[in-house]
Chains A and B, each alone.
Chain A
Amino acid sequence: MKSPSNQQFAFTTTFNGISNKILSLLVVSPPKDIPDIQFEKKAVKAIWDTGATHTCISTKLANSLHLTPISKRETKTANGDRLADVYLVDLLLPNNVQVNNIQVTGVELLDEVDALVGMDIISNGDFAISNFEGRTAFSFRTPSVSKTDFVKKIEKKNIEKQNRMSKQDKRMKRKQAGISRKKNRKKNKRNK
């Protein structure tokens, strides 16, 4: 994945409601650096799939773009092992996030999508899915910038909460102590 001059790239997609698939648009285009490979670029729907080790496109798309394979590869799918063609392409993700000269495998996919974005792309950056207020949102940035650790965040919040509680407790105790000191002083005065 190219990030010229250490520039960061990112995009966020928010769905209307909870989504059970992480979908985004993806433009498959000929590799800019290799003029020998030419075909019409095409925008397709892609699923971001952590179960796929590599990014792949549908054989239907490969055929419609008249892609020529450069390599072949054994693939392991839910339905068994298959020999598949490998193509070299550039991929354009939303918000101008570019992946250049990537090898994609041609496999049979469900009709609704023409590509799976696999771990070869996902592992080049930070990838997050949230479902806050009933709306699925996913965000991707490259290169990776920081580690996301919900456990640490929760621990930090819990510690902050505990600190707030103990401060409140102390305040209450001080207040109570102040009241009892006042009472004692009054008692002492009365006794005198």
Chain B
Amino acid sequence: MDLCYNLSMLEKEYKYFQDNLESLLKEHKGKFLIIKDASVQGIFNTYNEALANALTKYKLGQFLIQECIKESLSTAHFFNSNVIVNEKSI
């Protein structure tokens, strides 16, 4: 199924982002990166700019846009209440 393919591909892109975060931070800290085929395809100042540019070149689901920041307590998304995690599905 296309969707499954896209999701697994995006996981690969995210792994690239995480594995290379330290070096990416040195050059592009705070920027929004278009990541495709395990490489950075574009660097932008805003999420919207990155998305607009990515959509001119690639189909939805073929790229990932990531803000080049190190996740910390101040940047993480918190969902403390009403969230359940089914351990079996992980």
B65 CB–A CB distance under 8 Å: yes
Question: How many B residues are at the interface, by size bracket?
Answer: 20 to 34
Residues of B near A101 (CB, < 8 A) are 48
Residues of B within 8 A of A71 (CB): 64-67
In the complex, whether A173 has a CB less than 8 A from a CB of chain B is no
Tell me what chain B mostly uses at the interface: helix, strand, loop, or mixed: mixed
Taking the closest CB of chain B, its distance from the CB of A41, in whole angstroms, is: 17
B residues whose Cβ falls under 8 Å from a Cβ of A: 3, 6-7, 10-11, 14, 47-48, 51, 55, 59-61, 64-67, 71, 76-86, 89-90
Given contacts A88-B51, A101-B48, contact A72 B14 (CB under 8 A): yes
Chain B binder among A44-52, A89-97, A140-148, A181-189: A44-52
Q: Could you tell me if B66 and A77 are in contact, using CB atoms closer than 8 angstroms?
A: no
- Which of chain A's residues 78-116 have a Cβ closer than 8 Å to chain B? 78-80, 82-85, 88, 101, 103, 105, 107-110, 113, 116
Q: What CA separation (Å) do A107 and B83 show in the bound complex?
A: 7
Those of A106-163 within 8 Å (CB) of chain B: 107-110, 113, 116, 118
**Closest chain A residue to B90 by CB distance?**
A82
B47 with A103: CB separation less than 8 A? yes
A68 near B84 with CB under 8 A, answer no
